[in-house]
Chain A
């Protein structure tokens, strides 16, 4: 499985949006992010894959909402006043698709350093390894760069 490449710039930096899900801090390229929304009324799609069970009305467009906690086997949590939906754009099956990510708390836009990043270790990690692109040390935290392409590909063609 070739993991999705991370496009560090010439100085080995990457501008990301950091947010919390299930007690962990994740980061995604800021260029991917379209909008940060307060929680919207969600509509359940019966029979849909668990990771993307709901859709919301994002300015007249029907956007699936993904719960990344399921991909990282995290406990389901209560929504709080800090809960937000981060709308990102990602090519799915070759077409640019808007996806809402349910997050517990959106932190900030930060600049990560390639030098402070490392491959996901083969052992000692709770998460499925191909769902993690890199682990990055940032201040006192360890930030996960998730591989959304791999995560959503698994939804579209479930492995038996």
Chain B
């Protein structure tokens, strides 16, 4: 299978652009941080290089301008300014468009013009912010060692040495202490280290510049040549001197380790999602075949066969668990994308907004993460636009000027809870009520529970914003959010305190691929009911069944609950079992009893989607394969509940 190399580049470019974006957003807060400037510069540089390699010439040319501008910041010629960061951010968006091939030339030109203006303005802004003179030194002694695969990755140590020589009078000595014996020597690996003594007026930054593209993996120690060097000139080391390699040349002052800390590289393999899905299918089949084998083995009194079967059972179980984890990604990849959103919202609304995130390491199925993005964007927009007040209002209300939006995630059982909290004005209940009455959702003056009142915002066409802004308030919001969350088999909940802010909680299953289900029999067919929706199971006695012919209602703790006979709904044409069961399922506050003939038991289920022919049937959300290889349909609880509800309402009205 040959893959389009540009597709790989697109994925890589997307990641680079994300890195650049995160770097820029951080830089916006800490304009003087040279490490960030360097990180952004490296990202742009790599993007330019690989872009040109894959034939994205327009991208390479455009990125080149941004890279040059950043190079000047890096060299201290121009300080980083908020305007510059914001221009490069929009340039980043243009690069993303260039990668997708959806860019407009005029837009790029406009950005470049703004970029030039921003650089000019920044230069006029006086001395560079962080180009603090590193001071003159008599010289430095440095030691560096490249990773063994440096040459394979295109780094030429000779060029680095040449660059060092350009800085001043240099004396280079090679260290061969880690050289393996000749028999074990791989000729294209780099095992040499170099001691370099540089004399002259050389700054630490100049030296680090030489190594900028290899810095992450290498060992670099820089020490002043003369221990009498003026105090304060030596930059502070990030790593304690204790980690200095003992073999360093004897220097009076403790040698300073620049970026010796090499984190053990975790190897990653990029795999197309459909291959993972195919693997998942195979594993699912294996589990089914294994359960058939177990059944066979249990019927025979063959100890050897049994012990092999148990091994296979354990292995296939482990294999499935491993398989599940493969698809999980941390939510940080989701949360990270909102920093930009908040940045843009703050600019558009003129509010000061701070985003706090926690629990980024919580892992969720990749598909779930992708489908959560849009609803979360909407909720965050709502929080910023409607929830948070203007700075003046906030000060008047005795709050800090900066509004706070907090995103957090944590795992609870088989679910992930994602909460979006703002410290704004809260939801205006009077307005919700007025709007609900105007839309005929509630009767004027009707008593209604608080959470039901707040739940009205999830009704279609419901928007309390007095003004429709281009951010939110178009009335196409929260109902779509709710539907998306429900399609993920999740739930959404809102709480709000006037003047203090609102909290929106999303409960999302960890994975879409597997659910815990209750296996039931209706007539001759078996069905799966998602266990998360099941509240309780009761018996429906024959008398109750006959008595309830007309009204299909049972009393459950003083509440009337409508029930649906699945035998009738599915027209099985079979006679009811003498001991029918009612499985009470719920979505939100609505409950419905489903009458089944038999409850078979719990069943962990790999969900398979239905074809276009059966997706429209409505009562089923998918299907699964049972231990014996047969197919069982998974009931769509939300649909069944909705189907049963109108009857309840007519009954309420009648009574």
Contacts and interface: CB of A to CB of B under 8 A. Distances in A.
A48 B569 CA distance: 12
A60 B569 contact: no
Given A46-B619, A55-B623, A57-B625, A62 B613 contact: no
Given A61-B281, A156-B612, A43 B632 contact: yes
A59 interface: yes
Contacts of A41: 629-630
B299 interface: no
Contact of B611 (A44, A46, A63): A63
A47 B617 contact: yes
B292 to A, nearest CB: 13
A49 B494 CA distance: 40
B633 interface: yes
A109 interface: no
A97 interface: yes
A142 to B, nearest CB: 29
Given A45-B620, A46-B569, A55-B623, A156 B613 contact: yes
A110 B616 CA distance: 37
B351 to A, nearest CB: 43
B615 to A, nearest CB: 9
B609 interface: yes
Nearest to B281: A60
B173 interface: no
Interface string A28-72: 000000000000010111111100100111011111100000000
Given A92-B611, A155-B613, A43 B630 contact: yes
A78 interface: no
A46 B571 contact: yes
A140 interface: no
A52 B630 CA distance: 17
Contact of B284 (A46, A56, A60): A60
B400 interface: no
Contacts of B631: 43, 55-57, 62
Contacts of B525: 43-44
Interface residues of A, number: 27
B618 interface: yes
A95 interface: yes
Contact of A62 (B610, B616, B619): B610
B608 A62 contact: yes
B614 A48 contact: yes
Interface of A: 41, 43-49, 52, 55-57, 59-64, 92-93, 95, 97-99, 152, 155-156
26 contacts: A41-B629, A43-B525, A43-B630, A43-B632, A43-B633, A44-B525, A45-B617, A46-B570, A46-B571, A46-B619, A48-B613, A48-B614, A52-B611, A52-B613, A52-B614, A55-B610, A57-B631, A59-B281, A59-B285, A60-B282, A61-B281, A61-B608, A62-B610, A62-B631, A156-B612, A156-B613
A-B residue pairs, 10 tightest by C-beta: A46-B570, A43-B631, A60-B285, A60-B281, A52-B613, A62-B623, A62-B608, A47-B617, A93-B612, A64-B611
Interface of B: 281-282, 284-285, 288, 525, 569-572, 608-614, 616-620, 623, 625, 629-633
Given A47-B570, A60-B281, A92-B613, 13 more contacts: A41-B630, A43-B623, A43-B631, A46-B572, A48-B613, A57-B630, A62-B611, A62-B631, A92-B612, A95-B612, A97-B612, A156-B612, A156-B613
